[in-house]
Structure formats: structure tokens, C-alpha cells
Structure 1
């Protein structure tokens, strides 16, 4: 029987922490976080937990700034309450290119930083762009389906850039996703597949209904042991409050990996100190690898667009005169 590995760990950062780090990209705190060997930094976790601080910064904007200043992969919190799936897919794919394959998304049903009054209670309503759709596991699931398909709709090796034939891309391989659900999205995405194939698709769950949907679709699920058994999804992380992480077992007992969740008011030095203590005590182990998928031990995404309709009609061949 092989030796069971110690849990990996990741570090959550609230909007308050993101404001501090982006304001000073050369800060010792950022260097300290980057030196921990965390599997990833989860950006904007207070948006998913429902306890936002008084100051915040959009997680995807933060990722654009931090990708150049850190080698640690980044998991960006996003929610259909604020983000339309097409826009979210495009931003996350662009960030994955920018970072060299170190980005994924962590979906949440609601964004605690979105307005509380109508239409902020509906999907896409938090951005005040439309009436949206009812929030719930089905809407989050639909968002995940759209993201996964869009990220595969434009294979990067379809770009041939042949000057002699004047062919930029093999257009037959760029496809529609033809998704009809809570959201109707034809596709394709205008961003090609990324250095890790597709960004990692994560989902943070807080209810049994969310968990039931997430384990059938997400590659990485953040949830308690009561909601998500460790074998239920390809990668499972337990949400652990920072004060619980300081305990003897680091807040984890079942072999799942750990996502450390500080409060907005927790100093970054304290976050780094507790993570280092867990490493020193052998409670967790550092992660290695250059891409996010490598850091969390995740293989390529499941292919979902076999036989999809080409997005561009092939030009008729010219007859020789």
C-alpha cells in the first residue's frame, strides 16, 4: 500500500487583501505568499463566503496585476449574479494566456459584493445590466456548462498562419457551442485555448443542492465534508477558517486539500505565518508545477464539443481559369 500524501493547501485572499497587494506589487507580503508553495491563491474569497470587507477590488482585475508579480497560480472568484458567462469565459481565458497557464475560476452562486437591492438578486443582475435570471444551483450549473464549452470552441492549433496560402486558421475547427439553457450562447469564444488547454473550472458550494450539481461538472470543488466527500470530484478543497487552521490538524482530517480563509481584517503577515506553521509542522505539503492543473494534480479537461457545428463556412474553392 502506498503512503498517503499530506494535503495540499491554498490561500484565500479577500478584497481587502487584494487592494493592499495590487497597490504595492513589490510588497514583502506578496513575496511571502509566493514563497509558500501554495497550490493557488484564491482571489476574492469573501465574495463567495458572504462576508465582504469594506474595501474590495475585482478579482479578475487583481489577477491581471498579480499574474506578473507572482509565480503562484490564481483562482478567480466569479458569480453569475455579476458576470455573464461569455464575459467571464473571455476574461479568465485571457488571464490564463497572460499568466502562462496559471489561472482558473471559482464559481459562487452569489457575489456578496453585488448590490442587495433588485435587480441584484438575479443572475447577471448584480452588474445592473438586465433583469437576469433567478439565482440558484441551476443557474450556476448553466454558467459552468457555458464556460467549459466556450473554452474549447477555438483550438489554438487551428491557427496555422500560413503566409503562402494566406490561410490564418483552419476555420472548420472553430465551432459554435449552441448552448440553450438559462443563458443562450452560440459561441465561439474569441480567445483560443490556453497554455493548460482550458482554465480550471472550480465551484464553491454552500448547500446540498449546489454540491450535487458541482460534483457532476466542476473539476475542483470547495466544500465541507458534509457536502462533498473527498472522492466526489477530481479535486476537493475544504474551506478552513484561519483560526481553525492554527489547530493541531490544520482544520482538516479526511485527506482533502485545504483552502485557508482569512477574514478581511486579518493582516497578511498573519496569513503567511499560519501557512508557514502548517508547513513546518508537516500538516500540509507544498505544491509543485508551473500550471494550475499541475499544482492541483489535475489532468486535461473533458472534451465536450465533438461534432460541433463549425462557426465559419468554408470558402468555395476557385476553379482554374
Structure 2
């Protein structure tokens, strides 16, 4: 890395889009199709909700935006941004699972601690339905665990549609999650698991404690700095070390840790050459698996299309291909969290064939 003559690629590429960008792409879906030509591993929809940005004048709910854009950019994968500040884990799990079915496995969730567009200072307190829980790393971690369990509570392999026995689903395989934490959830989810097994689960973090917590539960971490400048070398090194040390429960004992993406801001005040040099420098840091280009609200998303080919020509980023987002990132299927969980329904009994007597 860092050698402009290299032909080897080493890091993944992602793009983070805020509410203004999403609204513009939805208004002109032809522009959304350009995302397919960037070679990105994924696009974050609504990153301004969770990265500490001031609320923009226009926004679109990220799962709605991702569902729309997935149709018009069928070669692009999307992570929808959310936080427990506004969204209950059950609602999040259901919306993301539905999005993953609609996109045929090209979707996932990226969590943050706080939603910049949500009122109040407690988790899920803005609706006035509960007293809420304090916002923080612990609450976000609890949401991540609860969502994972819900995604696994109705295995898609339980749907057998056996005409001979007249059994549609092996209902005994649908289980309670019985999650007890910041949020108590009995489950199960009302949506079966997806083509990926579970959608990809990411965490946006801007501190080492957040990275360490994410390392226990996430597929990947996006490291931001809370400033236009990318995270410095010390923070990147500390984040990589925290991921290496975290006892991951996301993967099935294969010695892997979550992927580490580092955010690089794309601002109108800087030329493409400077941005390419900065992205190349960040990608060369030990422990970095990917870079996430984050255009400012006043920067047209098409600027990214000028930067990406340069990074590819330098060998800074690798092409990302595959039918699902998990395939594109070479991520294994998550570890099973509900082995031995109590079933919701008894096992169905085979039924005799339907008797049909013509009425004529």
C-alpha cells in the first residue's frame, strides 16, 4: 500500500450519504444507477443521523431510502443508519429484515449511539411511550444483541411448503429470543431470516470504547473522528487493537474480528488529488480493511465517482462482488445465538391429503 506502482488491491471501499444526497437521488433515480459503477462494497444511507452532523434541511428515513435506491441501483448494497435514540430494536430488526428480502441479500444495519434528528436524550424516549434508557455505548450494544437474536428467531429453513404432508413450516423451529437487557423482548420476529442468514450488522464508532463494544457484536466497524479530518494514526491503531482484543460473539469461533473501515471526508474545498492521497494514506494503515468516503452535504455525490477510479487505478481499493453483501465482504455467517431456545409453537402434525369431490 502507498506505492502508486502496485497492482495489488487491499482495502474495501464504501460511501456514506446523508439526507440531502438521498433526497437528490430519489428525486432523480437515473443518478442512483451511477452507484452501480463505483465498485463499492456498500453505501450507507443516512450516515448524517449517526455521525454527529447537524441535521440537514432535507432527510429521508434510511430504510425507506435504501429500499427505493436498491431498485434503481441493483448492483449496490446498502446499510441503513439507525440508533436506539429513535428506533426500538424490534422495529429495527423487522424493517432491516424486510429490506434485506426486498434487496435479495444486499442490505444491513449500521448502528450509532445517537440520532441527530431525534428529540430527547434517552433511547426510544422521544415517542413518550416509555421513560427511555440512557444513550450510550451500552445501550447500543444491547440493541445490537437483541437485533441479532430477532434475525435468527425464525429460520428460513423452517419453511418447507410440503404439499404431501400439508406442512407449510416446521413451526417448532421458530423460537422466543427472551432477551433481557436495556430492552426486554420475548420475540420471535414476524419476518423469516434472509438469503444472508442475517443482514450485515455494522457500528459507527468515534471512540476506542465504542470500537471495543462493537468488536464484540458487529460484522464491521466504521471509525469516524467527529471532525472533517479522518481519524489520526493513533486512533486507528488503538481501534485496530481494540478489535483484535474484543471477544467477538458475532462469528463462529473462526478467529476473525470485525472489519475496520475508516471514514474520509470529501469536502468541496479540496481537490480530487488531495483526497486520493489522503484516502491512500489511510488505507495503508495496519489493521484497516476499508475506507468510507463521506461527501459533505454541499458536495455532489458525483464527486465520489471521480475519486473512485483513481483509487482503483492505484490499487488502493479492491473490487467488491457477490450476490449478497456478506459475500462481497467475505463475511462468514454469524454464530447462532438461540440454540436451545424455547419454541413458540409445537411441531406440526402431517395431515391427510385433501379430498376433492367434483360438484358436477
The answer, yes or no, to whether TM exceeds 0.5 is yes
How many residues align? The count is: 310
Structure 2 Cα separation of the partners of residues 269 and 128 of structure 1: 40
- Mapped contact 2:93–2:150 kept (Cα < 8 A): yes
Structure 1 segment 219-298 matched on structure 2, within 5 A: 219-223=219-223, 224=231, 225-229=236-240, 232=244, 233-243=257-267, 245-247=275-277, 249=280, 251-254=282-285, 255-298=288-331
**Deviation of residue 132 (structure 1)?**
1.4
Change (3 A) 1:256 1:131: same
- Structure 2 partner of 1:11: 15
SS of residue paired to 1:261:
strand
Structure 1 stretches lacking a partner, 5+ long = none
SS of residue paired to 2:298:
coil
Please point out which of 32, 35, 38 is paired with 1:33.
Answer: 35
Structure 1 segment 126-275 matched on structure 2, within 5 A: 126-223=126-223, 224=231, 225-229=236-240, 232=244, 233-243=257-267, 245-247=275-277, 249=280, 251-254=282-285, 255-275=288-308
**Deviation of residue 165 (structure 1)?**
2.7
**Deviation of residue 271 (structure 1)?**
2.1
**Deviation of residue 4 (structure 1)?**
7.1
Change (3 A) 1:23 1:227: farther
- Mapped contact 2:175–2:341 kept (Cα < 8 A): yes
Structure 1 Cα separation of the partners of residues 45 and 127 of structure 2: 19
1:64 correspondence with 2:67: yes
SS of residue paired to 2:277:
coil
- Mapped contact 1:250–1:283 kept (Cα < 8 A): no
Deviations 1:84-108 (A, max 9, x none): 0000000000111100100010000
Structure 1 Cα separation of the partners of residues 302 and 220 of structure 2: 27
Structure 2 Cα separation of the partners of residues 317 and 236 of structure 1: 49
TM-score, length basis structure 2: 0.81
- Structure 1 partner of 2:88: 84
Please point out which of 37, 42, 45 is paired with 2:44.
Answer: 42
Structure 2 Cα separation of the partners of residues 139 and 58 of structure 1: 21
**Deviation of residue 35 (structure 1)?**
0.4
The structure with more helix, counted as a fraction of residues: 2
- Structure 1 partner of 2:337: 304
- Structure 1 partner of 2:58: 55
- Mapped contact 2:112–2:203 kept (Cα < 8 A): yes
- Mapped contact 1:81–1:127 kept (Cα < 8 A): no
Deviations 1:142-166 (A, max 9, x none): 1000111110110111112223333
Structure 2 stretches lacking a partner, 5+ long = 1-6, 224-230, 245-256, 268-273, 352-360
RMSD of aligned residue pairs (Cα, Å): 2.0
Change (3 A) 1:237 1:198: same
Deviations 1:35-59 (A, max 9, x none): 0110001111111111132211110
**Deviation of residue 114 (structure 1)?**
1.4
- Mapped contact 2:165–2:350 kept (Cα < 8 A): no
Deviations 1:8-67 (A, max 9, x none): 11011111000011122122xx23221011000111111111113221111001011011
